[in-house]
């Protein structure tokens, strides 16, 4: 097997691994947002239930902390209006599939883009390095259109 096909297989494997990683990351990031919203709703609901129990057992304490109770109600309303909690199960599953496939495609394509860009930059570096070592002519014939090293910077040599 030649070196180019080995490099191609390695890059393909790396791109597939990056695609899988990006898909998992996107799905887990969305799941985290959903579960944080669900957790906040549960916490604020339990907090409100505690204040309701306090209202029934000790009305004086409840009235003294009316600002805290109103803050709890505002937090509960904002938790109920969360984007993630207003989605149906099928919409949520669709977003997970979309994020997974988008993350996989993005990871795969970005790996190929980085490899292409990196190999282009390395190739240009090697070519310019060889040019510096071997001079402007680089062993080419006299019909080279490059200005010779003895000529001035601004002049150009044209060949008929």
Rounded to an integer, the average pLDDT of 92-121 is 92
Contact 22, 106 (CB under 8 A): yes
Mean pLDDT of 68-75: 89
Has residue 90 got a pLDDT over 90?
yes
Return the number of other C-beta atoms located less than 10 Å from residue 111's C-beta. 21
Q: CB of 82 within 8 A of CB of 44?
A: no
The tokens describing 120, both together, are 């282009």
Q: What is the pLDDT of residue 55?
A: 83
Structure token digits, residue 22: 């990006």
Model confidence at 159: pLDDT above 50: yes
Q: Highest-confidence range of 50-59, 88-97, 127-136, by mean pLDDT?
A: 88-97
Q: For position 24, what pLDDT does the model report? A: 93
Cα 122 from Cα 127, distance rounded (Å): 9
How much is the mean pLDDT over the chain? 83
Q: Would you state the pLDDT for residue 160? A: 43
pLDDT for position 62: 79
Higher-confidence residue: 156 or 6?
A: 6
Domain ranges in the chain are: 3-134
Residue 152 or 97, more confident: 97
Chain CA centroid to CA 74, Å: 34
CB 41 within 8 A of CB 79: yes
């Amino acid at each position: 097997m030649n070196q180019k096909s080995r490099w191609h297989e390695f890059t393909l494997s790396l791109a597939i691994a990056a695609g899988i990683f990006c898909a998992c990351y996107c799905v887990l990031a969305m799941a985290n947002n959903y579960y944080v919203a669900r957790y906040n709703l549960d916490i604020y609901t339990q907090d409100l239930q505690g204040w309701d129990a306090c209202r029934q057992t000790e009305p004086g304490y409840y009235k003294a902390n009316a600002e805290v109770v109103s803050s709890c109600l505002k937090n509960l309303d904002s938790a109920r209006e969360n984007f993630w909690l207003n989605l149906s199960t099928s919409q949520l599953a669709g977003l997970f599939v979309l994020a997974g496939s988008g993350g996989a495609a993005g990871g795969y394509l970005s790996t190929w883009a980085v490899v292409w860009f990196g190999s282009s930059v390395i190739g240009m570096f090697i070519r310019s390095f060889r040019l510096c070592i071997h001079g402007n002519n680089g062993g080419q014939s006299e019909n080279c259109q490059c200005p010779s090293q003895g000529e001035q910077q601004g002049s150009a040599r044209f060949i008929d």
